[in-house]
Amino acid sequence: MLPVNAFNNLDYWEFLKKFTGEPQEAETARGTSSPDSAGQSESSANVVPWRPKTQPRRPSTVCERSEVALLRDCDAVERRLRSQIQSCWSEVQRRCKEADIERSGELDTDTFLGMLFMLYAASSLPQMSAGHLSRQCMDALLMLCAPVQLYWRSMRRAFISHDKETNKTTKLHVCHSQQVLKQHNIHLSEEDLFHLTSFFDKNISGNISYNDFLLIFQK
């Protein structure tokens, strides 16, 4: 699970420690306890308060199972992330420092996840003949990330269907691309559309490669 505080800010130093390959002090610290706390636990164990007998409770196995499943999911995600984060650890650290203007060691969770997404998107760019990736385009891509990933397969089928009806070049006119987005309840502002087309249509041909568009959001 992500190390966040009460304000839902991410302690990115703790996050990055997980992927350095060094042993974590926190785990060893948890296994030790102070003599005072041990003495308190022993003394408190000798005092058993009286209470009336009640019907024995059944263990909440459903909650326990869900917690175990959640921990397993977190472990699986961490294993997948480990090799990817280690390969670009210095770049992640640099971007974290740039975003952490107040030098607090913490980032807003959305900001951090957005930064990871853009690092992933940047790794896909060499495969694409894309234009300049502006900050406004990044914001638009981040806004599109969740809905496009949700309807990714359906949108791909819609893009291919439109392409078969037109020129079969894996490229669609901006208007047709916008229609597919609207069919999936994704509505872009004129400003977002401008920045996205500037990125995906650097030659200003009026057409967008839907394969390039979907590539960025592919899970």
Whole-prediction pTM value?
Answer: 0.50
In this structure, the strands spanning 106-108 and 207-209 are unpaired
Distance CA 13, CA 8 (A): 15
Strand ranges in 9-167 using DSSP code E only, listed in sequence order: 9-11, 106-108
- Give kind and range of the element (H or E) at residue 150: helix 135-150
C-alpha closest to that of 171 among 209, 202, 129: 209
All domains in the chain, ordered by first residue = 1-24+66-127 (no CATH), 130-217 (1.10.238.10)
pLDDT of residue 178: 92
Both tokens of 62, joined, read 């459903």
C-alpha closest to that of 116 among 147, 149, 138: 138
pLDDT of residue 28: 45
Cβ proximity of 177 and 206 under 8 Å = no
Helix or strand or coil: residue 209?
A: strand
b/e per residue 138-148 (b: at least 16 CB within 10 A): bebbbebbeeb
Query: Looking at the DSSP assignment, which residues form a beta bridge with residue 108?
Result: 9
- Tens-binned pLDDT, residue by residue, of the chain (219 aa): 666 777 667 677 777 777 665 555 544 444 444 445 444 444 444 544 555 555 555 555 555 555 555 556 677 777 777 777 777 788 788 878 888 888 888 888 777 877 777 776 666 554 555 566 777 887 888 889 889 989 999 999 999 998 888 777 888 999 999 999 999 999 999 999 999 998 888 888 899 899 889 988 876
Residue identified by tokens 């694409």 is 128
Look at the alpha carbons of 199, 202, 205, 207 in this order and tell me if their dihedral is positive or negative: negative
